């Protein structure tokens, strides 16, 4: 069994005050290393091969990305490849539809944690949110958070903003915070549209300094990243991570 990479969750905790989006963005965009440190290097295509996953991990080691995000079947491969690097492996747990049983989420989170996964992204139960069953939404998220935190892992809850009304985005973000998520994430990458600066700002407005905000899906350029960071994101999910970091290097040169 792979040796888990320890994560100090205290480094990811926020107070209840405000979040300085512009200050954070300026720091993150100040150097290649600072930018890479806020990007989740992502490959979630169903057709991704082992060679591609290994290459993803090698790139993460070279650029020092915040995390490598893969599908569950590649968790052990990624953990083994990143062993000793200090870079955590992240995995999407449950259905990308936000329709998994609570027991499924718990079991998968525990199984992946035992493999060494230290960041977990889940889609909130969208249908329950739209049905007004807020207790079920909070219970589902909290169940996953308890397992993740027990194993020293971080939980990110995906709102899937493309499918929600303004009221549902606001309500969903608050429920996720009350259920002990570490991050609220905009999108899974499997809906009709992805992150927008407006949605990131909306989520940060709810979260304040209580949790992190991850912008993901459709973020392919340095300008995209800058817009998301200035809107309030403190983590970016992208499959174009290397190109984005190289763009910053060219701009600085």
- Find the CATH number of the domain harbouring 222: 3.20.20.70
Question: Does residue 37 lie in a domain region?
Answer: yes
Question: Does residue 21 lie in a domain region?
Answer: yes
Decide: 232 and 213 in contact? Cβ < 8 Å.
yes
Question: Does residue 11 lie in a domain region?
Answer: no
The stretches in the chain having pLDDT less than 70 are: 1-17
**Domain region containing 136:** 17-252
Question: Does residue 6 lie in a domain region?
Answer: no
pLDDT at 106: 97
Identified catalytic residue from 182, 185, 224, 226 = 185
Question: Does residue 127 lie in a domain region?
Answer: yes
20 is catalytic: no
Task: Spell out the residues 6+ positions from residue 238 whose beta carbon is closer than 8 angstroms to its own.
Answer: 39, 40, 41, 42, 216, 219, 220, 225, 244
pLDDT at 16: 54
The pTM of this model reads 0.91
Whole-number Å distance between alpha carbons of 158 and 54: 26
Helix (H) or strand (E) holding 63: helix 50-63
pLDDT at 228: 98
Identified catalytic residue from 156, 169, 214, 226 = 214
Whole-number Å distance between alpha carbons of 151 and 131: 32
Question: Does residue 10 lie in a domain region?
Answer: no
214 is catalytic: yes
Decide: 88 and 72 in contact? Cβ < 8 Å.
no
pLDDT at 252: 80
pLDDT at 187: 94
Please give the tally of structural domains in the chain.
1
Question: Does residue 163 lie in a domain region?
Answer: yes
pLDDT at 95: 82
The two three-digit tokens of residue 168, written as one number: 């549902």
Question: Does residue 2 lie in a domain region?
Answer: no
């Amino acid at each position: 069994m792979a040796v888990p990479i320890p994560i100090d969750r205290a480094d990811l905790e926020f107070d209840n005050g405000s979040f300085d989006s512009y200050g954070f963005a300026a720091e993150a965009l100040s150097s290649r290393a600072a930018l890479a440190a806020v990007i989740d290097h992502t490959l979630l295509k169903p057709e991704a091969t082992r060679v591609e996953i290994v290459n993803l991990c090698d790139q993460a080691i070279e650029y020092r990305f915040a995390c490598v995000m893969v599908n569950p079947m590649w968790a052990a491969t990624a953990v083994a490849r990143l062993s000793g690097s200090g870079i955590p492996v992240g995995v999407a747990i449950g259905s990308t539809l936000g329709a998994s049983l609570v027991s499924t989420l718990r079991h998968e989170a525990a199984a992946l944690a035992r493999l060494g996964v230290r960041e977990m992204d889940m889609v909130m139960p969208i249908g329950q949110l739209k049905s007004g069953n807020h207790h079920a939404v909070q219970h589902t998220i909290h169940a996953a958070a308890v397992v993740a935190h027990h194993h020293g892992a971080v939980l990110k809850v995906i709102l899937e903003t493309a499918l929600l009304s303004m009221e549902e985005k606001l309500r969903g973000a608050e429920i996720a915070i009350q259920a002990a998520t570490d991050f609220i994430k905009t999108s899974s990458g499997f809906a009709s549209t992805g992150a927008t600066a407006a949605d990131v700002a909306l989520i940060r407005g709810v979260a304040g300094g209580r949790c992190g905000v991850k912008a993901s899906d459709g973020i392919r350029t340095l300008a995209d990243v800058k817009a998301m960071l200035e809107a309030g994101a403190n983590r970016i999910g992208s499959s174009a991570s290397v190109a984005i970091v190289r763009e910053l290097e060219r701009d600085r040169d």
